Amino acid sequence: MGSLSNGHSIDIKFTKLFINGQFVDSVSGKTFETIDPRTGDVIASVAEATKEDVDAAVQAARHAFDSGPWPRMSGSERGRILMKWADLIDQHAEEIAALDTMDAGKLFQYCKMEVPSVANMLRYYAGAADKIHGEVLKTAGKFHAYTLLEPIGVVGHIIPWNFPSTLFFTKVSPSLAAGCTMVVKPAEQTPLSALFYAHLAKLAGIPDGVLNVVPGFGKIAGSAVCSHMDIDKISFTGSTQTGREVMQAAAKSNLKQVSLELGGKSPIIIFDDADVDTASQLALIGILFNKGEVCVAGSRVFVQEGIYDEFEKKLVEKAKAWVVGDPFDPNVQQGPQVDKRQFEKILSYIEHGKREGATLLTGGKAIGNKGYYIEPTVFTNVKEDMLIANDEIFGPVMTLSKFKTMEEAIERANNTTYGLAAGIVTKNIDIANTVSRSMRAGMIWINCYFIFECDVPFGGYKASGFGKDFGMEALHKYLQVKSVVTPIYNSPWH
């Protein structure tokens, strides 16, 4: 039973593993506590999946793929069931939003918009389920050839804690539409909404074994998913270091396919012609949205020297006025970091920045003595080799730098191992075009930031991973191409 800021409580209904259409205890009987980052208190005890539980979930998914109806249904029938699931999500949107707010420290007002958006993501891919087809090919010889697009099989989805609803459906929606079955390992920090979604999936009519949810820890349950010999593909979102481990496990097991959406150290480049008030607000949201726990957070901000001083002044004013507190409070702009470990990691990076000689313009401290709240933090005079300029901090910490020319800005912005996203703020179309084509990143936002749409592919360059989410590219991640060739016996050229 979790408590809300208004004194009401929410009943935590689903805390067991979801395997083969049933909520079950773990084989070991182990549980783990999921913690409310607002207070550090326990929300609920959740069944902890181990290798044996993953084996059972994979076996259920394998049977559902090899012998069950889901891959053999017409696309329109799969789409109908996904549409029903989306309707059920809409009916329970506020309850699910509260779960994510309690579990992850996300703003309740944002979660109330996020949950309906994931229902629409389901509808987007439900509409694609009956439009999966191959091609007829013209060969040079006396043969007829065509391709078939077939579901890849059993998929292992490993989901991070920063957007538990969005990233659940970013992975599950296209793979279900493709006809795959799956085992989903939600983050141990945020398992509650995934289990609720599994309950609604069963109500919608998704057959047993198609969707299995196994909360647990990455080193145990996640590792078992990645190395399992009967999983055909892994889709992982998380840190770059863990992504390397996922690839190694996939290679050492059955050489399963892998798609990775990993870390970022995304730049926002602001030119002299920008409106300073608008640009400073965009930059601030770019780092403080979701308390900086965003893979595409605009953590490195580069401002051209002509407006730098004015920009810095406005940015600091806005950062000091930013409201941090209980995420259920509609006046709050930033909630707590997801857990104690992340909280302490961010504070340690702030101390690194101070020791390395960067100038702390504002913030830098924890707030209160209960929960995991951190002040919006901005550093300047940051050198390129500093830890805070290179590592993904994943918190409300910005590095602010001055540049002279467009060429300098491009070079410095690209000087990172990551390549997930970048922002450009300018009124000059030539600058916008040149910089957007010069950035080595998978998503470029011009005069905006954090704009995601179902039909716009998203994914990284370099150490930010490979494989696209959203759009038809995401659907094709879960399909494989089969070529079929047959002689044209009655051809006049035979």
The pairing of strands 366-367 and 373-374 is: antiparallel
Q: What is the rounded radius of gyration, in angstroms, for the C-alpha atoms of the chain? A: 24
Beta carbons of 54 and 221 less than 8 angstroms apart: yes
Non-local (6+) Cβ contacts of 260 within 8 A are: 236, 237, 243, 246, 247, 465, 466, 467
Three-state secondary structure call for residue 374? strand
C-alpha of 338 from chain center: 15
Q: Which one, of 404, 377, 417, lies nearest residue 243 by Cα?
A: 417
Q: β-strands 443-446, 421-425: how paired?
A: parallel
Interatomic CA distance for residues 261 and 459, integer angstroms: 6
List, in sequence order, the alpha helices (H) in 127-263.
Answer: 164-178, 192-204, 223-227, 240-252
* Phi-psi region at 478: left, alpha or beta (left = phi > 0; alpha = psi -120 to 50): alpha
In degrees and rounded to multiples of 5, residue 305 shows phi and psi of: -60, -25
Structure tokens at 366: 């924890």
The residues carrying an active-site annotation are 261
Distance, CA of 58 to chain centre? 23
